[in-house]
Amino acid sequence: VTSAVFSANGAWILTASDDKTARIWDAKSGICSKTLRGHVDRIYSAVFSAEGASVLTASEDRTARIWCSSSGECICTLDAHRDAVVSASF
């Protein structure tokens, strides 16, 4: 795991990993609710938006992606980078 953050309301934990996934976990039960798949290399950073509706990930694959946190669907891929994207922030 390369990154772990709580949602603003404390109900969810978001992790980023070398296994090319980000995961959303129920903070109370510890159960994985969603697995965000689409990156083709390790994810360095993942963050929730302020209201928790979106997730932003940053990856070695030279992309940043915006995800819907409730469905786990990738909304947008930002792919014009020439090197790894190592940090994400809303």
If you compute the radius of gyration of the chain from its CA atoms, what whole number of angstroms results?
12
pLDDT for position 90: 92
**C-alpha separations of 90 from 30, 38, 40 in Å:** 25, 20, 22
- This prediction has a pTM of 0.96
- For the segment 33-78, what is each residue's pLDDT rounded down to a tens digit? 999 999 999 999 999 999 999 999 999 999 999 999 999 999 999 9
Q: Which distant-in-sequence residues (6+ apart) come within 8 Å of 51 by Cβ?
A: 8
Do residues 90 and 49 make contact, with C-beta atoms less than 8 angstroms apart? Answer: yes
pLDDT of residue 29: 98
